């Protein structure tokens, strides 16, 4: 299915939102919740680095590695690849693994058959041996499944069911995955929250019970659903955190309130925030997620935000084109403007260089410590040579006069200006670039001027004199307006 720019942005936010929630929740897992806004401090049960995601997103990455090729996740081939990914991940000795997932993956080691046959046998045996087999360990990784068959609720629920059953065949665990994956699918396609719309995809005799659980969580204080190791409580806690903090304005600042609420509810904080984060990312997109978090998140198997964006987009598109963004190794811009060297100091901060694609290609020569890319870059372009991974920030900003192309233009311009200010406060020299520095770079430069205490009119005048500045168009007008 051909996605609109906004749908693609929202699809790009699913894994990234999950990873951000996960990394924010890690320090507080089964420990004291934060009083104010959570921070990516690392630590937690897996002794993670600051910004590192945990088992929730690690297991989601195993699914994404398969879904990113457009695979049908109900096929034996795909399930074998996902199961093999889970086994490989477990064999590598991850820092933290949920109890049920650990029991299933340990038991599977002694079994014969294909990877999915081993997991199915082990998970069924585990489920029949205990009355507590509906843990949140499948729900925590299901967000990406919502992108695999973006135009088909039936196929989405079948995929959610198949992937859940590898470790969590309990009907409630499976139902929670079907509901959340469908909610993610709807959020990406339609830009709205609707958890109840997936009820018809469940067995008829469980629909009423689930409707009651969803209704009880809507708008409720999320701490009512703590402890939340049970998949129903985890879903309710994530839904309560999402709905109780929604002011109806449509502002992506909702993401920050909702993730704080999810984590402040306590208990399995990283998992609940990962679940909520996938849905919030689906609703507000990669462009609605703050750069201060995007730049920090990373984790097994060696991925960072641009990788999560890439695999989410190819999953939502249902195919990979290695010659185009996001799968292309090195991006190329061919027009003359992109190949004109510029790298002029920002008129109000000579520690910020404003440049073109050519300048990005010579970032090392320019001697900068950080890069803010406002245009699309290839997977091997990040991080730029000589730049630490957390100091190369990629921004979802479309150079278009179509008012629907950028969902939150004001938010993105201000958030990017904040990110540049933070890099400068860390003592870094920053290259801010797009392709030809006509529109995106000057627009961000105007917004950044306000961080230097410069009056908007003076900033507009100064930046309009840069030779590359177009000085007209939607981005420039929004950036220049008070
Ligand atoms: Mg975790």
Please provide the DSSP assignment of 281-294 as one string. HHHH-GGGS-HHHH
Say whether both 26 and 113 belong to one domain.
Answer: yes
Say whether both 345 and 307 belong to one domain.
Answer: no
Say whether both 299 and 355 belong to one domain.
Answer: no
Say whether both 313 and 340 belong to one domain.
Answer: no
Say whether both 378 and 292 belong to one domain.
Answer: no
Say whether both 313 and 351 belong to one domain.
Answer: no
Work out the angle at residue 51's Cα, subtended by the Cα atoms of residues 42 and 293, and round it to the nearest 5 degrees.
135
Boundary of a domain, candidates 317, 349, 374 = 317
Boundary of a domain, candidates 287, 317, 347 = 317
DSSP symbol at 358 = H
Taking the centre of ligand 1 as the mean of its atom positions, its distance from the CA of residue 99, in whole angstroms, is 11
Taking the centre of ligand 1 as the mean of its atom positions, its distance from the CA of residue 10, in whole angstroms, is 24
In the chain, the number of structural domains is 2
pLDDT for 272:
98
Boundary of a domain, candidates 255, 282, 317 = 317
Say whether both 228 and 360 belong to one domain.
Answer: no
Whether 30 is covered by a domain: the verdict is: yes
The residue range of the domain holding 268 is 5-317
> For the domain that residue 384 is a member of, what is the CATH number?
3.90.190.10
- In this structure, which residues have their CB less than 5 angstroms from ion ligand 1? 54-56, 270
Say whether both 262 and 380 belong to one domain.
Answer: no
Taking the centre of ligand 1 as the mean of its atom positions, its distance from the CA of residue 235, in whole angstroms, is 15
Say whether both 181 and 284 belong to one domain.
Answer: yes
- Residue written as token pair 């007209």: 472
Run means of pLDDT, 10 residues per run, the chain, 482 residues: 94 98 97 94 96 98 97 98 98 95 96 98 95 95 98 98 98 98 98 98 98 98 97 98 98 98 97 98 98 98 97 95 94 94 97 98 97 97 97 97 96 98 98 98 98 96 96 96 80
Whether 264 is covered by a domain: the verdict is: yes
Say whether both 356 and 307 belong to one domain.
Answer: no
**Cα-only R_g, the chain:** 22
- Helix 5-25 to helix 269-284 angle (10° resolution) is 160
Say whether both 343 and 300 belong to one domain.
Answer: no
Taking the centre of ligand 1 as the mean of its atom positions, its distance from the CA of residue 177, in whole angstroms, is 17
- Answer yes or no: pTM beyond 0.95: yes
Taking the centre of ligand 1 as the mean of its atom positions, its distance from the CA of residue 39, in whole angstroms, is 16
DSSP symbol at 442 = H
**140 closest CA partner among 243, 60, 64:** 60
pLDDT for 132:
87
Say whether both 313 and 371 belong to one domain.
Answer: no
Whether 324 is covered by a domain: the verdict is: no
pLDDT for 312:
98
Whether 60 is covered by a domain: the verdict is: yes
Whether 323 is covered by a domain: the verdict is: no
> For the domain that residue 217 is a member of, what is the CATH number?
1.10.4080.10
Taking the centre of ligand 1 as the mean of its atom positions, its distance from the CA of residue 19, in whole angstroms, is 10
């Amino acid at each position: 299915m051909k996605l609109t720019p906004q749908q693609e942005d929202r699809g790009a936010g699913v894994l990234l939102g999950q990873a951000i929630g996960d990394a924010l929740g890690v320090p507080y897992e089964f420990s004291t919740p934060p009083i104010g806004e959570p921070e990516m401090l690392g630590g937690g049960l897996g002794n993670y680095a600051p910004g590192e995601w945990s088992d929730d997103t690690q297991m989601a990455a195993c699914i994404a590695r398969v879904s990113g090729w457009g695979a049908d996740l109900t096929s034996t081939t795909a399930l074998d690849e996902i199961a093999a990914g889970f086994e490989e991940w477990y064999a590598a000795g991850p820092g933290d693994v949920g109890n049920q997932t650990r029991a299933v993956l340990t038991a599977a080691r002694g079994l014969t058959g294909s990877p999915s046959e081993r997991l199915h046998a082990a998970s069924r045996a585990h489920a029949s041996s205990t009355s507590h087999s509906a843990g949140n360990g499948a729900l925590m990784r299901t967000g990406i499944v919502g992108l695999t068959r973006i135009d088909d609720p039936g196929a989405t629920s079948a995929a959610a069911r198949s992937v859940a059953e590898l470790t969590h065949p309990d009907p409630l665990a499976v139902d929670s995955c079907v509901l959340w994956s469908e909610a993610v699918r709807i959020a990406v396609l339609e830009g709205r929250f609707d958890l109840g719309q997936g009820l018809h995809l469940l067995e008829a005799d469980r629909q009423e019970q689930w409707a009651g659980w969803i209704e009880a969580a809507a708008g409720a204080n999320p701490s009512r659903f703590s402890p939340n190791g049970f998949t129903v409580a985890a879903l309710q806690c994530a839904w309560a955190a999402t709905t109780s903090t929604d002011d109806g304005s449509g502002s992506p600042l909702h993401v920050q309130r909702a993730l704080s609420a999810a984590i402040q509810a306590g208990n399995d904080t990283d998992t609940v925030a990962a679940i909520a984060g996938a849905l919030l990312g689906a609703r507000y997109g990669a462009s609605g997620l703050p750069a201060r978090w995007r730049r920090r998140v990373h984790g097994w198997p060696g991925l960072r935000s641009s990788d999560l964006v890439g695999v989410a987009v190819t999953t939502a598109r249902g195919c990979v084109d290695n010659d185009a963004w996001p799968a292309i190794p090195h991006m190329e811009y061919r027009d003359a403007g992109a190949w004109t060297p510029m790298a002029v100091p920002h008129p109000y901060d000579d520690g910020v260089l404003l440049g073109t694609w050519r300048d990005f290609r010579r970032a090392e020569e320019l001697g900068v410590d950080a890069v803010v890319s406002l245009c699309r870059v290839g997977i091997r372009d990040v991080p730029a040579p000589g730049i630490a991974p957390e100091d190369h920030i990629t921004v979802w900003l479309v150079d278009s006069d179509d008012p629907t192309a950028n969902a939150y233009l004001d938010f993105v311009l201000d958030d990017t200006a904040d990110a540049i200010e933070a890099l400068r406060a860390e003592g870094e020299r920053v290259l801010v670039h797009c392709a030809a520095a006509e529109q995106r770079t000057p627009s961000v430069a105007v917004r950044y001027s306000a961080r230097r205490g410069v009056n908007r009119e003076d900033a507009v005048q100064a930046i309009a004199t840069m030779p590359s500045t177009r000085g007209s168009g939607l981005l420039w007008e929004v950036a220049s307006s008070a």
